[in-house]
Amino acid sequence: MKKEILQRVWSIIVIAGVAGVFYFIAIFFDVFVKVFFLTP
């Protein structure tokens, strides 16, 4: 029972981590594109 809960918590942490990484990449790419296109 405890192992199942731990497994579920780990899966949530992994999903949250992956989502956070994708979110960070999206923000970084957005800023990079804006800076790249706005600066002459």
Taking the whole predicted model, whether its pTM rises above 0.85 is answered as no
What pLDDT does residue 39 have? Answer: 78
What pLDDT does residue 19 have? Answer: 97
Amino acid (one-letter) located at 5: I
Q: C-alpha angle with apex 4: 20 to 9, nearest 5 degrees?
A: 20
Per domain, the residue ranges of the chain are: 1-40
What pLDDT does residue 15 have? Answer: 97
Q: Which of 5, 25, 7, 3 is nearest to 15 (CA)?
A: 7
Max CA separation in the chain (angstroms): 60
Dihedral of CA 13/11/14/20: which sign?
negative
